[in-house]
Amino acid sequence: MALVPSPPRDKYPPLPDDKFPWKEPPPVAITPCDPWPPPYYLEDGLRKVTPYHYTYNTYCKQRWRGREILDIFASEFRDRPAEYYEQAIIDGRVVVNGKPVPSTKTIINNGDVISHTLHRHEPPCTAQPIGIVHEDNDMIVINKPAGMPVHPAGRYNFNSIIEIMRADRGYGWNPLPCNRLDRLTSGIMFIGKHKQAAEDLSAQIRGRTVKKEYITRVVGEFPEGEILCEKPILQISPKLGLNRVRANGKEAKTVFKRLAYYPPKDDGNGTQEQEGEKGPDGQPWKKLRGYSIVRCFPVTGRTHQLRVHLQFLGHPISNDPIYANQRVFGPSLGRGQSEDEDDEDIMSRLSRMGKEEVADAVAYHDEMVDAYNKRKAERMTGEKCKVCDTDLYSDPGVHELGIYLHARRYRCEEGKWDYQTGLPDWALPPPGYEGPTEGTEESDPLAVDLKKLGLEDEESQEKVETS
C-alpha cells in the first residue's frame, strides 16, 4: 500500500454549520496519510477496516526524559518486537520533531514530539448498525452496539462510534458524546450535536437528575425483591482495569431487581449444565448453575460499579472475563470479597490471563490488548501482511465482542424525556422456557424511594459510566 497524502481540507464535505469552527492543528500533529472516506468493508457480521498508513504523534512524557528512543519504544509499545522499532528508526518511520533521528540511541528530551508512521491494522468490530432511538436539532440518542468503542483509542480508530458516525454524516461533523459506555457494553448513549447541548445533558447526568436502568445476565439464581448494594469501590489497577469492593474505596450504591431466572437443563447424565453457558476460561459452571436476567439501577457512577457489585453479591455477569473468571478469583468468583485478600495475587493472575488466556474484557486496556487478542485468535499459517510483514490473525466471533450488559433506559427525573430500548437477544427467554420479553413490569424500581433507602443526598456523580 503506497503512502498517499490526504486530500486538502476543501475536498471534504463542508461543515454542517458554524458551530464547529475549524482550527488548524500544529503541523507535527497532522497525519499525512489519513484516508477519507474510511476504508470500511463488512464481512461475516464484522465491520472491518482495510489496513492503512497512519502517523502517531505524542509529546515526550516525563518518564521518557533522558532515555534512548529505541528503549522507549521497546518498553512502552510492546505490540511489536524491538527489532521492528529498530528498523523503523533506521528507515525514518520514527522521527523526532519532524526530523529523522541519527541513531537508535538518540536521547529524548522534554518538549520533543515523537512521530511514528506505520501500517495500521485495526481490530474488527460488529457490523451491527448504530441504532437511532431519537434525534432532534440538539441531540442524537443512539443504541450503541456491543464491541464498539466510543472514542478512538489504542488499536481502534475508524472502528469507533465517533468515527463511524462521522463517516456516515460527513467529515466536518463533530459528534460530542455526553455519557460513556465501555466498548463491551451496549445500549443508550447521547451524542450532542453542539457544545451547549452536550454540556447541558452532561450536567444533568452529573447532577443525578437522570435515572438509568441497565439489563444484565448473571450467573445463578439472583434473589427476588429489590436488593441494595452499597459497598465502596476502589480502583486497584488502572492498567489492568481491576476494581474491587474495599472499605477505603469510593462510595457506590446500586439497586438490583430480578426480572427472570432460567434454571439449568438436565443433560441426562445426572448433572445439570446450562446450554451454551460456559465461563470465560471455557470451563462449565459447576456450582452456580442457570442464569438470571437482572435490572440494575445505579445511584452512583463508579467505574465498573455494576460488574463489581454483582461479583460481590455472588452473581457476576455470566460472560464477564474479568469478574467471572474462575482462574483469577477461584470457585467463589469473588463473592463477599474480604479485605484480607491479596490484591497483588489477583493482579498477577489477571496479568497472566491477558498474556495467556482468552479474556476479551481486558482488550480495551491498551497495555494488554495486542498480546491478548493475538493469543486469542488463530494465527493464519505462514501468512503475513505484504506491506508491513506483520503476522495476520483470524477474526473473533461476533458473540465474543461484548458482555451481557445493556444500558436499556435513561429518563429525566422531571419527566421531560424518557428513552429506552427493547431487551437484547441474550435477555430473552431461551428455547423451551417462558419469561419476560419486555423490560418493564408493573412495579418499576426506577421509581424506588431513594429517600427511604437513605440515598437522597448524594454528592455529584462522576462523569463515568457504571459498566
Query: For residue 234, what are the β-bridge partners?
Result: 244
Write the CATH number for 306.
3.30.2350.10
Same domain, yes or no, for 106 and 237? no
Residue with the bigger pLDDT between 138 and 377: it is 138
The catalytic residue among 138, 182, 266, 457 is 182
Shared domain for 67 and 181, answered yes or no, is no
Regarding whether 354 and 241 lie in a shared domain, the answer is yes
pLDDT grade for 9, boundaries at 50, 70 and 90: very low
Catalytic site includes residue 182: yes
- 143 within a domain of the structure (yes/no): no
Specify if 170 maps to a domain.
Answer: no
The band of 56, judged by pLDDT with boundaries at 50, 70 and 90, is confident
Confidence band for 16, pLDDT divided at 50, 70 and 90: very low
Name the domain boundary from 104, 120, 136: 120
Q: Residue 188 contacts by C-beta under 8 Å, 6 or more apart in sequence?
A: 133, 141, 142, 143, 144, 407, 408, 409, 410, 419, 420, 421
Write out pLDDT tens, residues 186-240. 999 999 999 999 999 999 988 888 999 999 999 999 999 999 999 999 887 766 6
Question: Residue 273's pLDDT is what?
Answer: 46
**Could you give the 3-state DSSP secondary structure of residue 120?**
strand
3-state DSSP assignment of residue 340: coil
Decide if 335 contacts 311 (C-beta within 8 A): yes
Is 207 a member of any domain? yes
Greater pLDDT, 185 or 337: 185
Highest mean pLDDT among 330-334, 367-371, 408-412, 450-454: 408-412
Q: In this structure, are 77 and 226 located in the same domain?
A: no
Could you tell me if residue 44 is inside a domain? no
According to the per-residue pLDDT averaged within each range, which of 11-25, 399-413, 432-446 is highest? 399-413
Domain containing residue 32: CATH number = 3.10.290.10
The residues, ordered by sequence, that sit 6+ positions from 401 with a Cβ below 8 Å of its Cβ are: 125, 126, 146, 147, 148, 184, 360
Whether 107 and 182 map to the same domain: the answer is no
- Residue among 278, 320, 249, 290 nearest 467 (CA): 320
β-strands 405-412, 186-192 pairing? parallel
User: Which residues constitute the domain of residue 3?
Assistant: 1-36+52-120
| Domain identity same for 357 and 242 | yes
CB 300 within 8 A of CB 255: no
Residue 295 dihedral angles phi and psi, to the nearest 5° = -90, 135
Domain boundary among 120, 135, 156: 120
> 183 and 109: one domain?
no
- Cell numbers 533521528 correspond to 101
| Helix, strand or coil, per DSSP, at residue 410 | strand
Structurally, the chain folds into a number of domains equal to 2
β-partners of residue 260 are: 293
Task: For residue 418, tell me if it sits in a domain.
Answer: yes
> What Cα–Cα distance (Å) separates residue 463 from each residue in 33, 63, 191, 237, 362?
34, 28, 15, 19, 22
More confident residue, 28 or 244: 244
- Cell readout for 387 is 506491506
| Residue 85 within any structural domain of the chain | yes
Same domain, 110 and 193: no
Identify whether residues 6 and 109 lie together within a single domain. yes
pLDDT digits (tens, 9 = 90+) for 142-179: 999 999 999 998 789 999 999 999 999 988 899 999 99
AA letter at 122: E
